[in-house]
Amino acid sequence: MIDFLASQKHYIDHLSPVWNALPIELRHNFYVPLPIVDYAKTKIQKSSMYLFQYERNFPVDTHPILTCAYGDMLAAHKNNSLRKILHMEHGTGHAFGTAAYPNGNGKRDYVSMFLAPNEYTQKLILSVRPNIPCEVIGTPKMDGWFPVQWKTAEHMSPIPTIAIAFHWGDKHARPPESGSAWEHYKSLLPTLNKRYRVIGHGHPLAAHTYKEEFERVGIEWVDRFEDVLMRADIYVNDLSSTLYEFIVTGKPVIVLNAPWFRKDVYHGIRFWDYSNVGVNVEEPEQLFNAIDRTIVEYSNIHLHQRMIAVRDLYPYLGNSSQRAANVIAEYLRNNEL
């Protein structure tokens, strides 16, 4: 049997499809903190779910455990250093070389097996830890969007909804590409809201800041990214994995760059191997033209690049959850756990 641990709602979004695909006899406890139990109940099939009231404080157990966040992985190790940890990357596979990312040194050595979203990320993981098993399983969170329906102008709303969202961090992040472009574009929000139908979203770790600012200028805040996927016709983003998740809907994106995103430094997917999935914007005033162009060329804009990104970054789409469950079950059998 195996435990799951998710300390944030968006981690539940990634882990719950795998839990639901596992045979019931292999499920032990799904650990979630008390404040998000109601949300967990909407995602997790009825099970033995253990709630912990205080962050990362849960009973010592000996079962293997699946995590999808660096902090949760550390908490699982602290809980019981002998516990086997399986770790699933919860994003597209951004890699900035620090401990929290797939190609970083440090405490990821605690992991007994990695589950990678794609071959691109698998190679990054194995470049640092060649002796730790790593299987490609896809992105279970996005299975429901299979098969991808590439949207045409006929699918666009008469008045298109533009969603804009930002990653967490700022230009002082190390490296700066791991932060966000928020400071570069936030002054544009009032004008953007006057010209278009706009909804706002942001990385959960900075949601409070973004929500407050969006609502201050009259932009509707949409907390759940699932709702953004459904409602938005175009998605504007700097570097979150949601930039690529939105592409799976078949709808176009716009890519926000900032002056501190160095063009001669390479970190992989967003910087810069798959940065051509939408019109790239360098300066705030360019965003209006980018939106107008994307509306006019809705059916075809960067379509080939979007199709390549989905092909490369989302293997097993539609079957990722079952693929992950099969890999976990095989691991448990081989290790007699």
Give the domain 2-141+317-334 fold. Answer: Rossmann fold (3.40.50)
As assigned by CATH, the class of the 147-313 domain is alpha beta
Length in residues, the chain:
337
**Tens of pLDDT, residues 232-290:** 999 999 999 999 999 999 999 999 999 999 999 999 899 999 999 999 999 999 999 99
**DSSP readout, 175-212?**
SGGGS-SHHHHGGGHHHHHHHSEEEEEE-GGGHHHHHH
Domains of the chain by residue range = 2-141+317-334, 147-313
The model's pLDDT over 93-134, given as tens digits with 9 standing for 90+, comes to 888 888 888 998 889 999 999 999 999 999 999 999 999 999
Nearest one of 106, 107, 125 to 116, comparing CA atoms: 125
Distance of CA 66 to the CA centre of its chain: 17
**pLDDT digit string (tens) for 277-323?**
999 999 999 999 999 999 999 999 999 999 999 999 999 999 999 99
> Which two structure tokens, joined as six digits, stand for 228?
């953004």
Query: In whole angstroms, what is the distance from residue 22 CA to residue 125 CA?
Result: 25
What residues have CB less than 8 Å from 80, skipping those under 6 apart?
Answer: 60, 61, 62
Whole-prediction pTM value?
Answer: 0.95
CB contact at 8 A, 22 and 45? no
Parallel, antiparallel or unpaired: strands 65-67 and 279-281: unpaired
DSSP 8-state assignment for residue 42: H
Residue 135 neighbours by CB under 8 Å, 6+ apart:
113, 114, 115, 116, 122, 327
Question: For residues 136 and 158, what is the distance between their CA atoms, to the nearest angstrom?
Answer: 40
**Residue 328 — φ and ψ, nearest 5°?**
-65, -45
37 band by pLDDT with thresholds 50, 70 and 90? confident
Cα Rg, the chain, nearest whole Å = 20
Domain 2-141+317-334 shares a fold with domain 147-313 = yes
d(CA 91, CA 93): 5
